[in-house]
Structure 1
Amino acid sequence: MKPHLVIFAKEPRMGRVKTRLARDIGKVPAWRFYRAMLADLPKRLRGKGPWRTVISHSPDRMKPSLLRACADGYVAQGGGDLGQRMLRPACYLPTGPFVVIGTDIPDIQPHHIRQAFKLLGSHDAVFGPAEDGGFWLVGLKRHPILSNPYRRPVRWSHPETLADCLANLKGKKVAFLETLTDVDDGRSFRRWRENR
């Protein structure tokens, strides 16, 4: 029952990644930020705990070598909305808890992942809240039908995203990590650069 850290990643093509950020700072700087995060995050987290690191990539047909990111395994995200894609690891990974993160949270450290898996020992789900009302991490035990934070519609990229997921988990034990900033727009990008 080895835990799995799943990192969601897109093919690093200019104009197709960090599009909201690109509107504020330009396509090239947004692309460079994404490439830097994609290279750094798996390297920073892989092998730093008892978890196996898997990159879940989009589009499905792409060759994982295009990511230039080191992981223990690579899987396609598949179709559906973000919730369906984030729940899919329960179908193809071996038994055990899993945590899903994206590639736009520069402050994620190994201790965050360790804490998430520790909390899953006594909780059904764990979230890392983001300052914008979403979340930078979601972790689930291996019973996604019983603890599915996406079973009813969720407003993605919305100030109520996390609230929608929590409403779907009513009656379940949910834990929280610290709040971090996801870099999605020019304001969050500038704040991250100032605090480096």
Structure 2
Amino acid sequence: MTTLIVMAKECRPGRVKTRLHPPLSLEQAARVARACLDDTVARIRRVGDRRVLCVQGVLPGIPGFEQVAQGDGGLDERIGAVLDQIDGPVLLIGMDTPQLDPGLLARLADQWPADVDAWFGPAVDGGFWLLGLAGHVRRRGDLVRGVPMSQDDTGAMMRARLVDAGLRVHDVIALEDVDDISSLTRVGRLVDQGGRVAAVVAELGGFGAKAPDARRSDAGGSDAWMRRAS
């Protein structure tokens, strides 16, 4: 049974997406954060056998998702704590990539080949948007604890930690997090135009030029979503 975990945060002005301010107000930045969360959960509502929101702060209940509170400490400690609570295969994502492909996640949740111990999704900014661990991987929280977060080499260090632990790592397509106005501009052009992020961007007047197709999460081809790691 694959569990999908979403690391989420209460969308309170001044507590989320503060790098969007300025030019956005803190209230507008919080609306963007909530739109990212809404689109993310809408797209993954049928992915996996169990879906868990790991929440910092307070969020209203969302149908189809359990909620657990994030623990104390830095993000590495909070991720490690929730990973330690889950038995069986797990896919962990954040709430900042609403352009993700639910078909990709469904394939990862359903397909755990014998030679895959970990799925890894790098982020364009140097972090990572996806961490998947097979059910036989033990001491999984310790794989994340101690990895510095929010740095341009966080993803490289996280992936190296997996490899150093002897895990067979398979990479999936890189995605861009919504962090600032530039990334909101690009991601806003990739999301479902009927979703909340597109609506909020339109209400705020839109931003910039269309993002390059290379960053789309729905690249064609049956194997285009996965690259075999060395």
TM-score by length of 1: 0.84
Paired residues of 1:116 and 1:177 also in contact (CA < 8 A): no
Alignment counterpart, residue 176 of structure 1, candidates 151, 171, 180? 171
Name the SS of the counterpart of 2:92 in structure 1.
Answer: strand
* 1:87, distance to aligned residue in structure 2 (A): 2.4
C-alpha distance in structure 2 between counterparts of 1:137 and 1:146, whole Å: 14
* 1:109, distance to aligned residue in structure 2 (A): 2.2
1:165 paired with 2:158, answer yes
* 1:177, distance to aligned residue in structure 2 (A): 0.8
1:58 paired with 2:56, answer yes
Change in 2 beyond 3 A, CA 1:156/1:119: farther
C-alpha distance in structure 2 between counterparts of 1:5 and 1:146, whole Å: 15
Change in 2 beyond 3 A, CA 1:43/1:120: same
Aligned-partner residue type, residue 51 of structure 2: T
- Identity across aligned pairs (percent)? 35
Change in 2 beyond 3 A, CA 1:115/1:129: farther
- Equivalent residue, structure 1, for 2:216: none
Q: Residues 97-123 of structure 1, C-alpha deviation per residue, up to 9 Å, x if partnerless?
A: 111111110211211212333564432
Paired residues of 1:5 and 1:53 also in contact (CA < 8 A): yes
* 1:195, distance to aligned residue in structure 2 (A): 4.5
C-alpha distance in structure 1 between counterparts of 2:74 and 2:134, whole Å: 21
- Equivalent residue, structure 1, for 2:37: 38
Alignment counterpart, residue 73 of structure 1, candidates 66, 76, 88? 66
* 1:26, distance to aligned residue in structure 2 (A): 3.0
Alignment counterpart, residue 76 of structure 2, candidates 74, 83, 92? 83
Paired residues of 2:122 and 2:175 also in contact (CA < 8 A): yes
Change in 2 beyond 3 A, CA 1:24/1:131: farther
* 1:15, distance to aligned residue in structure 2 (A): 0.9
* 1:148, distance to aligned residue in structure 2 (A): 4.3
Name the SS of the counterpart of 1:101 in structure 2.
Answer: strand
- Equivalent residue, structure 1, for 2:225: none
Aligned-partner residue type, residue 55 of structure 2: H
* 1:168, distance to aligned residue in structure 2 (A): 1.4
Paired residues of 2:118 and 2:133 also in contact (CA < 8 A): yes
Aligned-partner residue type, residue 3 of structure 1: T
Paired residues of 1:8 and 1:100 also in contact (CA < 8 A): yes
Aligned-partner residue type, residue 52 of structure 1: R
Consecutive unaligned residues in structure 2, runs of 5 or more: 192-230
Number of equivalences: 187
- Equivalent residue, structure 2, for 1:114: 106
Aligned-partner residue type, residue 139 of structure 2: I
Alignment counterpart, residue 101 of structure 1, candidates 78, 93, 98? 93
Paired residues of 1:127 and 1:135 also in contact (CA < 8 A): yes
Aligned-partner residue type, residue 179 of structure 1: A
- Equivalent residue, structure 1, for 2:144: 150
1:191 paired with 2:186, answer yes
Aligned-partner residue type, residue 6 of structure 1: I
Paired residues of 1:24 and 1:185 also in contact (CA < 8 A): no
